[in-house]
Amino acid sequence: MGSSFGRLFRIATWGESHGGGLGVTIDGCPPGLPLSEADIQAELDRRRPGQSRLTTPRDEPDRCEILSGVFEGRTLGTPIAVLVRNEDARPAAYADFAKVYRPSHADFTYQAKYGHRTWMGGGRASARETIGRVAAGAVARKILAVDLPVEVLAWVDRVQDVEADVDLGAVTLEAIEATPVRCPDAQVAARMIERIEKARKDGDSLGGVVRCVARGVPPGLGDPVFDKLDADLAKALMSLPACKGVEVGSGFAGTYLSGATHNDPFYMEGERVRTRTNRSGGIQGGISNGEDIVVAAAFKPTATIGKPQETVDEDGNAVTLKAKGRHDPCVLPRAVPIVEAMVALVLCDHLLRQRAQRGPGGRP
């Protein structure tokens, strides 16, 4: 069941990076929701390869097809299946290391688990698996927007040690999309691009941090103990390829503060309870408090690089590997819509759970 996610709004992704195609099955989408392939395509276009010189040159249009669950432009309430066909797969590029374990890839661990693996592009461990997540995230956004002004925005906050200075309350989609690195701090974005291009020319790769803010989330989403909203967000983001860490609100930086400086004081704004600071990241006790939800995901450097690396093959022989294929020198720019999608999926699922728990008219 490792390819399924969610409870009431549940998705299952399928397909391999060099197979016939990839996609997602979405179960639990309410009926009557206006939905078209164009709604999904807009988000897939932000994720697709070949969109700038900072990404893999693999030329995939990533055109989506809705196979079920939608009729006359509206959802039926039945499972929605979305397919994206692979059109530029080149499995021959991987033939030289079909029996070699690529450093920091899933080759060895998939072999250990299943005893059989696809060596063409990494199979299910490839970032192309996230096509299904982004498609489902587009549907989740539509549900969130029905009667809630929820906005989910992510951006590249840091590449290696080049860090942006971003106002969480003022950042816009237009500013994020203004540069190919998807950093709304234009001056820092130029330095990030320079750093990534140097790594690409050197046959190397870089990691960094994607930060995300969700605005307009009502108080009350999330369940105590094991189904906390922040716990589900952490699982969602940690399930992404190359993600190695997640922070909510102040995260690890909060450990440097005392309780007196870290606590978020409450006050009344009209009839609404607010907090003067938001070090909690919009979540307290695992439940949303109505402030902006702020999370960050740390991504390691892309595992496939052009430099020679020591490894072993399936027979235990020492091998020096210089990888081929088309790969991102830094996953961060294309990770932005994927992070947004996972946050939207969690919020949508918890919104539907809250409404089911509160009964008719019990919207948060």
364 domain residue, yes or no: no
**Owner of token pair 């870290």:** 262
4 and 25 Cβ atoms separated by less than 8 Å: no
Q: Where are the alpha helices (DSSP H) in the chain?
A: 37-47, 107-114, 130-144, 173-177, 186-201, 229-238, 259-262, 332-358
233 domain residue, yes or no: yes
64 domain residue, yes or no: yes
Q: Please state whether 208 falls in left (phi above 0), alpha (psi between -120 and 50) or beta.
A: left
Identify the pLDDT of residue 299: 98
363 domain residue, yes or no: no
- The stretches in the chain having pLDDT less than 70 are 1, 50-51, 56-59, 89-93, 324-326, 359-364
156 domain residue, yes or no: yes
Give the number of other Cβ atoms within 10 Å of residue 161's Cβ. 8
pTM: 0.95
308 domain residue, yes or no: yes
109 domain residue, yes or no: yes
pLDDT tens readout for residues 165-183: 999 999 999 999 999 999 9
Count of structural domains within the chain: 1
Identify the pLDDT of residue 120: 77
Domain span holding position 215 = 4-358
50 domain residue, yes or no: yes
pLDDT tens readout for residues 248-267: 999 999 999 999 999 999 99
What is the average pLDDT score of the chain? 93
Tokens, residue 67: 């196979």
- CA dist 82 and 13 (Å) reads 10
Q: What CATH number is given to the structural domain containing 63?
A: 3.60.150.10
Identify the pLDDT of residue 58: 65
Identify the pLDDT of residue 88: 73
